[in-house]
């Protein structure tokens, strides 16, 4: 998937860095969450399997106190990657969104920031 300069989604790591050291934007929104940034990044780059796998690995290192488990467990990570490799993008998106809702149940289910860029193509 070719990226145009305007299509770039800021990585979760860049957002975390800016929140910590980010000049005029530093501390602007304390409620932003690194894990939710990772979910947004994964949804935006579903065609980049290596990147998604790395994001899911990072999410597996983070703890979800609601379910007393990693945000994305190993079995779910493997299932999502298998689905993406097999071309079942919609099912992978559903699983990813399910894990996000387990982590942040008060977020709106149809939060447009979490959808992949492809879902918004009107052509």
Residue 10 within any structural domain of the chain: no
Of residues 2 and 18, more confidence is placed in: 18
> What is the model's pLDDT at position 21?
62
Residue 18 within any structural domain of the chain: no
Residue 17 within any structural domain of the chain: no
Find the mean pLDDT for residues 9-24: 67
Residue 5 within any structural domain of the chain: no
CA proximity to 12, closest of 106, 121, 113, 85: 113
Residue 44 within any structural domain of the chain: yes
Domain extent at residue 82? 26-109
User: Please, which residues bridge with residue 70 across strands?
Assistant: 63
Give Cα 108 distance to the centre of its chain: 15
> What is the model's pLDDT at position 33?
82
Residue 6 within any structural domain of the chain: no
Find the mean pLDDT for residues 37-64: 95
Domain total of the chain: 1
Its pTM stands at 0.65
Residue 40 within any structural domain of the chain: yes
Pick the range with the lowest mean pLDDT from 17-21, 57-61, 97-101. Answer: 17-21
Q: Return the SS3 of 23.
A: helix
């Amino acid at each position: 998937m070719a990226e145009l300069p305007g299509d770039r989604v800021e990585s979760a790591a860049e957002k975390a860095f800016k929140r910590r050291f980010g000049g005029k934007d530093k501390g602007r929104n304390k409620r932003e969450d690194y894990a939710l940034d990772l979910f947004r990044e994964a949804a935006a780059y579903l065609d980049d399997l290596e990147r998604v796998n790395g994001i899911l690995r990072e999410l597996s290192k983070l703890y979800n106190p609601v379910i007393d488990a990693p945000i994305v467990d190993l079995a779910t990570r493997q299932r999502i990657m298998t689905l993406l490799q097999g071309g079942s993008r919609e099912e992978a998106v559903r699983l990813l969104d399910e894990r996000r809702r387990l982590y942040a149940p008060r977020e709106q289910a149809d939060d447009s920031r979490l959808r992949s860029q492809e879902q918004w193509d009107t052509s």
